[in-house]
């Protein structure tokens, strides 16, 4: 009886850990920070003033966090995890748009 319980517990723990690793993804704040970073890199290439860049950061970050929280809630954790991993791996706004 004890052996069977130990095996069941072990399988359950392994299944939970595998499931957790699959859906583990950057949170909305981390995703948005990456988007802001990429946006600033591209904006810097266009020669925007510091004031314009500051406003761009403020507006982009606020809207982005709300959007990502909605996306997480509407799509579910698994779809969001795939999306968030794609966004964080992207290096340009075009790549982010393809996610």
pLDDT in tens, 47-85: 777 787 788 788 888 899 999 999 989 988 889 989 999
The Cβ of residue 18 has, within 10 Å, a number of other Cβ atoms equal to 9
Q: pLDDT (tens digit, 9 = 90+) per residue, 10-47?
A: 999 998 888 777 778 888 999 999 999 998 888 776 77
**Residue 88 DSSP code:** H
Angle between helix axes 28-46 and 50-75 (nearest 10 degrees) is 150
pTM: 0.71
């Amino acid at each position: 009886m004890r052996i069977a319980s130990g095996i069941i517990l072990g399988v359950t723990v392994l299944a939970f850990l595998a499931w957790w690793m699959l859906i583990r993804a950057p949170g909305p704040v981390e995703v948005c920070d990456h988007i802001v970073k990429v946006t600033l890199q591209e904006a810097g290439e266009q020669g925007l003033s510091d004031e314009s860049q500051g406003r761009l950061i403020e507006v982009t970050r606020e809207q982005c966090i709300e959007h990502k929280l909605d996306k997480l809630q509407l799509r579910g954790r698994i779809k969001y995890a795939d999306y968030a991993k794609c966004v964080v791996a992207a290096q340009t706004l075009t790549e982010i748009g393809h996610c």
